[in-house]
Amino acid sequence: MDGKELSLSLLFCIFSIVNCCIENTFNNTAVTLVGAKDIRTITGCFEPTEDLVKVSYIQIVNESVPILRRGAINGLPNLVDVVLERNSMQDIDPDSFYNLPKLYLIKIKQNNIRVLREGVFNGLNLTELCLTDNNIEIIYPNAFDDMPKLSILFLNENKITRWRSDWFKRSPQVSVLNFEYNLITTVPYRCLQNVKSSHLIGNVRVDTNVQLNNNRIKKIEDGAFEGLEMLGWLFLHKTK
Ligand SMILES: *[C@@H]1O[C@H](CO)[C@@H](O)[C@H](O)[C@H]1NC(C)=O
Ligand SMILES: *[C@@H]1O[C@H](CO)[C@@H](O)[C@H](O)[C@H]1NC(C)=O
Ligand SMILES: *[C@@H]1O[C@H](CO)[C@@H](O)[C@H](O)[C@H]1NC(C)=O
């Protein structure tokens, strides 16, 4: 399929009630599920078949899943948590996740992802995203835009060299950012311009917490913290 056909069929999938798995992500992959009886392996995609429609938790650990492909996990109305750990994953295609109204957590830890593309997480109702211990070097500027509920983001133990002030557009709940153990050298002008300094969670005020310990910070640009009334915590020590 060429790109155009692919996006047309994806559009069809998103707006249709028939199930469709455009590209296989899983191949006899061992899986631990909550909400599905007697399913131990998955081939193709996770989609709302009779067997899978009640799934609330997906865990795949120590398997081989080289690339999460379009539609890998889609259309599950009860899915809350996705945990994909140590699967030698190298890439995540845009639209790997869609139509997941209850999704709370995606944890893709200890894999080999190098690039975070646009269109992977945008628009998801996710609260917590953990990408600890990958090889992430490149993050597209819009990778974390339009995530209305994103609150907690773990990107520690990666190879990020650049902090971008334009991250987190229209993602107003961002409040815990852990970027420890990366290779960031500069804190740029208005580094947190799209991040609020505190949030009300229930009735409790919670201060934003940004962790940048163990990076390579050599420069803090003038006005780096402009646009923030007050930052709860910014951890910058142990800079090499
Ligand atoms: C799935 O895995 C089997 C066994 O490793 C392999 O023979 C087969 O080609 C794979 N199928 C796909 C679609 O990748
Ligand atoms: C995955 O592999 C690691 C290292 O080999 C091991 O310590 C861990 O127990 C394994 N976890 C599961 C759920 O199989
Ligand atoms: C996000 O959640 C709301 C309800 O909290 C729901 O109405 C909406 O359809 C969800 N959006 C997506 C993209 O799943």
Cβ pair 66, 86 in contact under 8 A: no
Give residue 229's pLDDT.
57
Quote the ligand 3 centre to 34 CA distance (angstroms). 21
Residue 46 and residue 52 in contact, taking contact as beta carbons nearer than 8 Å: yes
Q: Kind of pairing, strands 67-68 and 81-85? A: unpaired
**Are 35 and 78 in contact, with CB atoms under 8 Å apart?**
yes
Residue 4: predicted pLDDT: 61
Indicate the top mutation candidate among 125, 126, 170, 171 to test ligand 3's pocket, ranked by most ligand atoms within 8 A of CB.
Answer: 125
CA angle 116, 112, 82 (to 5 degrees): 70
* pLDDT given for residue 223 in this prediction: 86
| Distance separating alpha carbons of residues 210 and 229, to the nearest angstrom | 15
Question: What is the C-alpha to C-alpha distance for residues 98 and 13, in angstroms, rounded to an integer?
Answer: 10
The tens-digit pLDDT sequence of the chain (240 residues) is 555 666 666 666 665 555 567 789 999 999 999 999 889 999 999 999 999 999 999 999 999 999 999 999 999 999 999 999 999 999 999 999 999 999 999 999 999 999 999 999 999 999 999 999 999 999 999 999 999 999 999 999 999 999 999 999 999 999 999 999 999 999 999 988 898 888 887 888 888 888 999 999 999 898 888 766 556 556 665 554
24 lines ligand 1 (CB under 6 A): yes
User: Which residue's CA lies nearest to atom 3 of ligand 2?
Assistant: 62
CA distance linking residue 79 with residue 34, whole number of Å: 9
- For residue 148 the two structure tokens come to 């209305």
Cβ(43) to ligand 1 under 6 A? Answer: no
25 CA to centre of ligand 1 in angstroms: 11
Assess whether the C-beta atom of 125 lies below 6 angstroms from ligand 2.
no
Looking at ligand 1, which residue's alpha carbon is closest to its atom 14?
27
Q: Whose Cα sits closest to atom 7 in ligand 2?
A: 62
| Cβ 88 under 6 angstroms from ligand 1 | no
pLDDT of 204 reads 85
Asked whether the beta carbons of 174 and 145 are under 8 A apart, the reply is no
Backbone φ and ψ for 122, nearest 5 degrees, come out as -60, 135
Tell me what pLDDT residue 240 has.
Answer: 47
Instruction: Please report the beta strands in 70-166, taking only residues with DSSP state E, as ranges in sequence order.
Output: 73-74, 81-85, 91-92, 97-98, 105-107, 115-116, 128-130, 138-139, 152-154
Q: Are strands 138-139 and 91-92 parallel, antiparallel or unpaired?
A: unpaired
- Position 60 scores a pLDDT of 98
Query: Does residue 27 have its Cβ closer than 6 Å to ligand 1?
Result: yes
State which amino acid sits at residue 132: T
Residue with the nearest Cα to atom 12 of ligand 1? 27
